[in-house]
Amino acid sequence: MDKAALLQAIIGQLKHDLTTQTQAALTSREEATHEESKPENKYDMHAQEAAYLAEGQARFAAELTEAINLYLGLSPAPWPAGKAAGLGALVGVEAKGKTQFYFLGPRNGGMEVSLDDQSVTVITPSSPLGRQLLGAGIGQTILGTGRNSAAQQITAIT
């Protein structure tokens, strides 16, 4: 799998999310400051609620911008042979004859990206599975998390 293309797909998804979140924040801000949002009485909280929403959406947009910058800083170069998995590694894990790919990323774990008809899940080192993969090598057995707690074997690190 082409790791450079994978990184571009992850960054593309984050940029799409940023565009959506930025637009939502601007819409909420406009609603909060619109003439029709002025309170009619002391119990009318519509404008204040819209302002809180806009603030939260703007904060999330800033977090997405930070995540994009972190992913732009990762190297798309192949992982050195024999080196244990670390941040920026694409890890193949096999269980019950099926291989699942995980990308150890700095932020936004849980995101799924499809590339070459293969699904890749972004995980972070702070997740339970990420903690197991960080520092692991090919051939090492890890335990799945949640309901799928069967033993899994690392088959590739690229």
The yes-or-no verdict on residue 148 having pLDDT over 70 is no
112 torsion bin: left (phi>0), alpha (psi -120 to 50), beta (else): beta
| Interval 60-98: pLDDT, tens | 999 999 999 999 999 999 999 889 999 999 999 998 889
Whole-prediction pTM value? 0.87
CA–CA distance, 22 with 94 (Å, rounded to integer):
39
- Are 101 and 120 in contact, with CB atoms under 8 Å apart? yes
Q: Which helix (H) or strand (E) covers residue 36, if one does?
A: none
Residue-level length of the chain: 158
Per-domain boundaries in the chain = 3-72, 90-157
